[in-house]
Structure formats: C-alpha cells, structure tokens
C-alpha cells in the first residue's frame, strides 16, 4: 500500500453494485409504474446523487462491462462480443485499483468484467467458507460476499474496491412458488405495466410478472449488500456506485441501442461529497466515463491517460458543472453467438440517431431475446396482425437509419428519419456521430460517411460476415483429446 493511502484517513473505499438486465424505469425512483418493485434501492436513492441522463454504451453484457472497466470502446479493447482478449495492452479497473493500494474483489460476472478469465483479482467472492459456489440467485449470499470482501481488505490493511454484480433480473427469471430463491414480493400478470415498445398480450404479461419479481429479488440482494456495508462500520468512508448493465432481456431492449436499452439508473453516494436525494438532470454521462471517474475518486492516475475514450465526471459528484456533456456515443458489434450486426448511435437529451450498416432487408438480427416468450408471441401474432407484423419486421431486419424524439417517444416507436421537418437534425447528428467515430478510429466511420453507398456497406459487411464465420468455425472445432499414456 502506498504511503499516501496509509496517510490519508479520508481515502475512500469503493463499492460498485450492478444489476443485470434491468431497465432504469423498473425502479420506483426512476418512474416505475408498478409500485413496490425496489424499496431498498429507492431508499438508497434518498441518500445519493442520481443521474437522469446516464447511458451504458451497448445492450449486452460482456462487451458493455469491458467498456466500463477499461475506459475503451470495444473495437479498441478487443472485447466486441463474448470472446476474451487474452493479451490486453491496457490496464482495467482491477489493475488500477491494486496499483492505487486497494484490495480488489469481485462477486459475480467475473468472466464478463475483465478481458479474460482468470484475472488478477485479490479475491473472487463467489464461494462460501467451505469453498462451495454460491447460487447466483441466492439473496443472502450477496451480503456474505460483501462482508467477506470487506473483512479480507481489513486483514490486508488496505481500503477496498469491491464490485458486487447481482445476477437478477437476468434470465432465468423467478419461476414461481417452487423457486428455491423467493423474492420478498411477487407480482401478478394483471398488475404489471406493459412497456410501450412491447404489446398487450397474456403471454407478455406472464413474462413481465416473472421479470418484475426478479427485479424485486435484485432489490433484496441490494438490501443484503448494503446491510453488510452498514454492519462493517465503513459506510461513511465508502463511495457506493449503483447501475444496471443495460435494459430488460426482452425484444427492443437487450442487445439493442434504443433508449430503454442503454438508459441506466446510475446513482452515486460519496459521503460528505454528494448531496443526499439529489438529481443531475443536465449532464449526459456514459459508461465510457466510469473508469476515469473512479480513478479520480481514488486519487490515482491512469498510466497512459491519453488512451482513454471517456473523461471523469467526478466534478459533477462535487456539485460542479461540466461543459460538453450533451450527448453519448453508442456502439454494438456482436452477440453471444458470435453474430455480427454492427450498429452505432448518438443520443442527446432530445434525440436518438441510429446507424445500422448491416440492415439490407434480408439479413436477420440474431439476439438472445428471440428465445423469449414475448418474441415467440410477437412472431405468432404477426402472421395475422399488421401492426405487430411491422414491429417484428423492424426487430428482425431493422432499417439503415433511425431517428427518435426520445423526450416525447422514449419507447422509440416513430422513426422520424424521413420526416422533412427533421432533416437538419438528421444531418447534424449524422455528422456529429461520424466525427466521433473518426476520432476513435472506429471502422464504421468510413461506412457512415458514405452511408448511402451500397457498395461500401456491402464490402464492410463482407468483412463482418467473415469474422462471424470464423467465430462459428472456432466454436465448432472440437478440442483435441489428450493422447493416451502407453
């Protein structure tokens, strides 16, 4: 531990808590229409600063989390999908926290939070004292993991940097009375709200009821984590950061770049720094900013700060203002199956512009949400209902460009890309996104700059298809069996 850490009694501990696959508006404090989904998180909000315009960069887990904890966009950090980067040329949060003198521990999402596994955490808090692996839906275990991490840091005589990743409400959802991991409250199908980007249907309601029960179970896990922090006596010296990695695991949310895909319920409590029950409704912050922000909180410098794509919003935690926080850049490349459907986006407080170079009317989008009851019902009803058929076609094939008025249409139902009144906005956002992609050497920049040129898009997608095929072939290649000993 550095002399500075030892000497500075105000040196803060860091506790990062994430929930998995949860839309921001599933929390009461972020406007959930269903009462009582998140009493513990809502109570925490009264002690913290919450950001009204915080966004992650992509609606799937491994690339999204690697962006957060590397401070680098996916095409640079090498984790564009669910494939590891076993030779990273950059440090991530774990490395940097340890270099700053912290004890670095993690619970859950271990292989999704760093470029490869196993990684150099001081502790992976996924097992009990007997070495038995905790069930990812076990509520009490999250408190025990937190307590264990704090205890280990004390034994090492270091401040702690703990990342506790709650599994819920990621699938599998709560499965009913026989589920061995019961939430403190469940919800009936007839009481749950239907998100505007979905449709009224009994099957959708049943799936949403299971989802919201899983949200409540995530809230129970958060309660246990915060109880462990309080019991440790270190709450007043600990910065707590809460967020969701992306939106709910249903169509038009997860593995997308729509508003409800990337809007995250970011909240930060920094004792004696942030103001309790406060809201930042002015600045747009992004997951690309998380790492530099935490480094500033730790009073530790990145060894090569010029490589970072984001910038610290620690001044906002202190109640200050920052210029040029009026948009976020969004980036999607690949799903868990290795299928590449590159998309880029830019969102301001007013509008969301999306560019989908893979969309040609024939390619079909591959995503985990096609395995949901909601998608299957959408496909079934699309055979007879034109409105749902149009939604299914957009989901499956998309269009080259999309523009949405997110202030008035956060569900992104009305594509304004061809509206004569919006052409100035379209051109402005397209140019702004192109410039941002060029600055970070994103290969999509060239395609976007010539967005109307089909030949450039086709040549780009031919390269993407080659990567998809390589990924599939690698997955199909059987592992060589060890030779028998003679």
Query: At which of 291, 308, 327 does a domain end?
Result: 327
Enter the tokens of residue 230.
Answer: 């309080």
When pLDDT is cut at 50, 70 and 90, the band that residue 285 belongs to is very high
My answer on whether omega of the bond before 338 falls inside 30° of 0, hence cis, is no
372 part of a folded domain = yes
Alpha-carbon distances, residue 416 vs 359, 369, 406, 449, 451 (angstroms): 17, 25, 11, 20, 17
In a shared domain, residues 316 and 391: no
Could you tell me how far CA 6 lies from the centroid of its own chain? Answer: 34
Q: How far is Cα 244 from Cα 264, in angstroms, rounded to an integer? A: 5
337 part of a folded domain = yes
The pLDDT of 32-42, averaged and rounded, is: 98
- Residue 68, classified by CB atoms within 10 Å of its CB into exposed (0-12), middle (13-18) or buried (19+), is buried
DSSP conformation letters of 175-211: --TT-SS--S----TTTSPPPTTS---HHHHHHHHHH
Domain count, the chain: 2
- Which ranges of 331-382 does DSSP label H, i.e. alpha helix? 373-382
Instruction: Please answer whether residues 260 and 197 qualify as being in contact, where contact means their C-beta atoms are separated by less than 8 angstroms.
Output: yes
pLDDT of residue 430: 98
Enter the tokens of residue 107.
Answer: 């619970």
Residue 483 has pLDDT above 50, yes or no: no
CATH number of the domain bearing residue 396: 3.30.1120.10
Residue 478 has pLDDT above 60, yes or no: no
Residues 218-261: pLDDT tens digits? 999 999 999 999 999 999 999 999 999 999 999 999 999 999 99
In a shared domain, residues 140 and 285: yes
When pLDDT is cut at 50, 70 and 90, the band that residue 336 belongs to is confident
Residue 59 has pLDDT above 70, yes or no: yes
- Could you count the other beta carbons within 10 Å of the beta carbon of residue 226? 24
Crossing angle between the packed helical segments 373-382 and 386-397, to the nearest 10 degrees: 120
In a shared domain, residues 341 and 308: no
Token pair 């009026």: residue: 326
Of the listed ranges 117-126, 210-219, 341-350, 460-469, the one predicted with least confidence: 460-469
Residue 185 has pLDDT above 50, yes or no: yes
What 3-state DSSP class applies to 450? Answer: coil
Instruction: Please answer whether residues 66 and 115 qualify as being in contact, where contact means their C-beta atoms are separated by less than 8 angstroms.
Output: yes
Residue 341 has pLDDT above 90, yes or no: yes
Contacts of 268 (CB under 8 A, 6+ apart): 48, 49, 51, 239, 240, 241, 242, 274, 317
Residue 477 has pLDDT above 80, yes or no: no
Contacts of 12 (CB under 8 A, 6+ apart): 159, 237, 238, 239, 270, 271, 297, 298
5 part of a folded domain = no
In a shared domain, residues 86 and 25: yes
In a shared domain, residues 360 and 410: yes
When pLDDT is cut at 50, 70 and 90, the band that residue 469 belongs to is confident
Instruction: Please answer whether residues 337 and 331 qualify as being in contact, where contact means their C-beta atoms are separated by less than 8 angstroms.
Output: no
Q: How far is Cα 182 from Cα 277, in angstroms, rounded to an integer? A: 30
Instruction: Please answer whether residues 27 and 41 qualify as being in contact, where contact means their C-beta atoms are separated by less than 8 angstroms.
Output: yes
The pLDDT of 51-67, averaged and rounded, is: 96
Residue 473 has pLDDT above 80, yes or no: no
pLDDT of residue 10: 57
pLDDT of residue 476: 57
422 part of a folded domain = yes
Residue 485 has pLDDT above 60, yes or no: no
In a shared domain, residues 316 and 349: no
3 part of a folded domain = no
In a shared domain, residues 309 and 395: no
Rg (CA), the chain: 22
pLDDT of residue 337: 83
482 part of a folded domain = no
- Could you count the other beta carbons within 10 Å of the beta carbon of residue 396? 18
DSSP conformation letters of 314-365: HHHHTT---SS-S-EEEEEEE-TTS-EEEEEEEE-SSEEEEE-TT-SSS---
In a shared domain, residues 316 and 197: yes
pLDDT of residue 472: 65
Query: At which of 327, 362, 387 does a domain end?
Result: 327
Q: How far is Cα 210 from Cα 176, in angstroms, rounded to an integer? A: 8
pLDDT of residue 471: 66
In a shared domain, residues 232 and 338: no
DSSP conformation letters of 265-277: --EEE-TTTSPTT
In a shared domain, residues 50 and 185: yes
pLDDT of residue 357: 97
Residue 81 has pLDDT above 60, yes or no: yes
pLDDT of residue 467: 82
CATH number of the domain bearing residue 249: 3.40.720.10
Contacts of 299 (CB under 8 A, 6+ apart): 4, 8, 11, 100
Give residue 240's domain range: 11-327
The pLDDT of 166-172, averaged and rounded, is: 97
Q: How far is Cα 245 from Cα 290, in angstroms, rounded to an integer? A: 12
- Residues paired with 404 in a beta bridge: 352
- Which ranges of 190-307 does DSSP label H, i.e. alpha helix? 202-232, 259-262, 290-298
- Residue 158, classified by CB atoms within 10 Å of its CB into exposed (0-12), middle (13-18) or buried (19+), is buried
The pLDDT of 269-285, averaged and rounded, is: 97
The pLDDT of 387-395, averaged and rounded, is: 98
Query: At which of 310, 327, 344 does a domain end?
Result: 327
Alpha-carbon distances, residue 472 vs 62, 112, 335, 336 (angstroms): 18, 20, 12, 11
- Residues paired with 54 in a beta bridge: 285
In a shared domain, residues 303 and 359: no
Token pair 């395609």: residue: 447
Phi-psi region of 410 (alpha: psi -120 to 50; beta: other; left: phi over 0): alpha
Phi, psi of 202 (to 5 degrees): -60, -40
Instruction: Please answer whether residues 259 and 34 qualify as being in contact, where contact means their C-beta atoms are separated by less than 8 angstroms.
Output: no
36 part of a folded domain = yes
367 part of a folded domain = yes
In a shared domain, residues 312 and 387: no
> Can you give the pTM of this predicted structure?
0.94
């Amino acid at each position: 531990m550095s002399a500075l850490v030892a000497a500075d009694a105000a040196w803060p501990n860091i506790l990062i808590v994430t929930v998995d696959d949860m839309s921001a508006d599933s929390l009461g404090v972020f406007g959930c229409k269903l009462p009582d989904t998140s009493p513990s998180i809502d109570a925490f909000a009264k002690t913290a600063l919450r950001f009204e315009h915080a966004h992650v960069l992509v609606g799937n887990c491994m690339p999204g989390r690697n962006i957060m904890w590397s401070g680098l966009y996916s095409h640079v950090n090498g984790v564009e999908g669910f494939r590891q980067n076993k030779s990273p040329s950059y440090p991530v949060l774990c490395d940097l926290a340890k270099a700053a003198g912290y004890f670095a521990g993690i619970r859950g999402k271990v292989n999704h939070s760093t470029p490869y596994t196993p990684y150099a955490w001081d502790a992976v808090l996924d097992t009990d004292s007997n070495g038995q692996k905790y069930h990812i839906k076990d509520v009490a275990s999250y408190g025990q993991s937190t307590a264990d991490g704090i205890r280990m840091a004390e034994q090492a005589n270091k401040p702690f940097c703990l990342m506790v990743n709650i599994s819920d409400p990621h699938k599998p959802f709560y499965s009913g009375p026989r589920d061995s991991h019961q939430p403190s409250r469940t919800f009936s199908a007839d009481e749950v709200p239907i998100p505007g980007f979905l449709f009224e249907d009994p099957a959708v309601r049943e799936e949403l009821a299971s989802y919201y029960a899983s949200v409540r179970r995530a809230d129970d896990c958060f309660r246990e984590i915060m109880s462990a922090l309080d019991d440790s006596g270190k709450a007043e010296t600990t910065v707590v950061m809460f967020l969701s990695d992306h939106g709910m695991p249903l169509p038009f949310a997860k593995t997308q770049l729509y508003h409800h895909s990337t809007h995250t319920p970011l909240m930060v409590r920094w004792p004696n720094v942030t103001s309790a029950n406060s809201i930042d409704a002015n600045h747009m912050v992004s997951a690309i900013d998380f790492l530099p922000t935490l480094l500033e909180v730790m009073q530790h410098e990145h060894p090569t700060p010029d490589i970072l794509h984001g910038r610290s919003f620690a001044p906002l935690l202190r109640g200050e203002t920052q210029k040029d926080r009026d948009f976020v850049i969004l980036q999607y490349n690949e799903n868990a199956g290795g299928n590449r459907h590159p998309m880029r986006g830019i969102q301001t407080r007013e509008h969301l512009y999306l560019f989908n170079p893979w969309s040609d009317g024939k390619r079909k989008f591959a995503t985990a949400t096609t395995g949901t009851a909601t998608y299957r019902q959408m496909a079934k009803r699309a055979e007879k209902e034109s409105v749902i058929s149009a939604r299914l076609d957009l989901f499956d094939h998309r269009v080259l460009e999309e523009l949405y008025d997110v202030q008035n249409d956060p569900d992104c139902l009305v594509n304004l890309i061809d509206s004569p009144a919006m052409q100035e906005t379209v051109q402005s956002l397209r140019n702004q996104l192109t410039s941002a992609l060029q600055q970070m050497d994103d290969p999509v920049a060239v395609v976007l700059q010539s967005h109307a040129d089909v030949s450039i898009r086709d040549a780009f997608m031919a390269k993407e298809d080659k990567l998809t095929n390589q990924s599939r072939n690698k997955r199909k290649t059987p592992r060589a069996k060890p030779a028998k000993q003679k």
